[in-house]
Amino acid sequence: MQTPDISVDHVQNSFSSRATPLLILSFIFLILLSFQHIGCDSFTGSDDPEQSYEYQFDEEPGDWSALFSNYGVGREDDFELESGYRPLPAPLDSTETGFYLSGKNISDDLNMFLKHRISGLQPETTYELAFDVSFATAAPSGCVGAGGPPGEAVTVHVDASGIEPGRIVDDSRDEGFYRLNLAEEYEGEAQSWYRATEIGDVANSRECEEGWQYEIKTLSGGNRTATTDAEGGLWLLVGTRSGFEATTSLYYTEVEVDVRE
């Protein structure tokens, strides 16, 4: 019987021809696993715990609503309270809109706020929040007005809470009086809340002698701390408190909030 002639070179060539496709397939499989891993990390964004919420009022996001307080119960007409989406006034672009808030301050400290609830955060967890608020204001700087300047005496405030901002009725006066719950329940003193939440005023860059004309103003700050509710939600509050005893009319154009655990 003749023994087959099997050389070393023949064995090596045979092994190489079979092993090469296996090596290639293994290499491709490892590459696919690597891409899959990278894609998952990118999607979760686990390295960046900060979340940003940006709202532009060029169209109606129906989950923002107006909240007026510090005025007599049933006296909405006397205070000429108005709110809603309106085109921006001249000389601004009238094809764009803002959330309009207006009121006549005859109570010495009328509040005009916007509120909105965000969700998807961790339940009952404390977060830090920083705000950027943009609005159109016609009040010039350095004017004199009843009760205070029309610009500097109308202060801007921001806050966040696991409790929905709302009105409570103060019965200590002859007539019922609406007050802001977050302020009244803040460490037992409303004035402390107003000081803690103030980020600026509504005075624009024009001098008083230049007259009233709308322009966009942006304020940043807040650095508020708030704890979410049991569903992982927080209420945002943005608005003004007036010491100017006349009418203030603002158009909110954008609100941006950075939230970090």
pLDDT per position as a tens digit, 58-79: 877 668 999 999 999 999 999 9
Identify whether the C-beta of residue 111 lies closer than 8 Å to the C-beta of residue 240.
yes
Question: Of 8 and 141, which is predicted with more confidence?
Answer: 141
Q: What is the mean predicted confidence (pLDDT) over 5-34?
A: 45
Question: Of 130 and 31, which is predicted with more confidence?
Answer: 130
Confidence at residue 20, expressed as pLDDT on a 0 to 100 scale: 53
H helix or E strand, kind and range, residue 34: helix 8-44
Top-ranked range on mean pLDDT: pick from 5-9, 28-32, 98-102: 98-102
Window from 55-64, 177-186, 202-211 with minimum mean pLDDT? 55-64
Residue 111, pLDDT above cutoff 70: yes
Helix, strand, coil percentages in the chain from 3-state DSSP, rounded to 5: 20, 40, 40
Q: What is the mean predicted confidence (pLDDT) over 213-234?
A: 96
Q: What is the mean predicted confidence (pLDDT) over 129-144?
A: 98
Cα separation of 153 and 205, whole Å? 15
Confidence at residue 173, expressed as pLDDT on a 0 to 100 scale: 77
Residue 153, pLDDT above cutoff 80: yes
The percent of residues above 90 in pLDDT, for the chain, comes to 72
Cα separation of 250 and 156, whole Å? 11
Q: What is the mean predicted confidence (pLDDT) over 76-100?
A: 97
Q: What is the DSSP string of 162-183?
A: SSPP-EEEETTSSS-EEEEHHH
Question: Of 55 and 175, which is predicted with more confidence?
Answer: 55
Q: How confident is the model at residue 55 (pLDDT cuts 50, 70, 90)?
A: very high
Confidence at residue 49, expressed as pLDDT on a 0 to 100 scale: 61
Window from 22-26, 59-63, 93-97, 230-234 with minimum mean pLDDT? 22-26
Confidence at residue 88, expressed as pLDDT on a 0 to 100 scale: 97
Q: Tell me the residue ranges of DSSP E strands in 148-233.
A: 154-161, 167-170, 177-180, 198-201, 215-227
Residue 103, pLDDT above cutoff 60: yes
> Domain 51-260 maps to which CATH number in 2.40.50, 2.60.120, 3.30.70, 3.40.50?
2.60.120
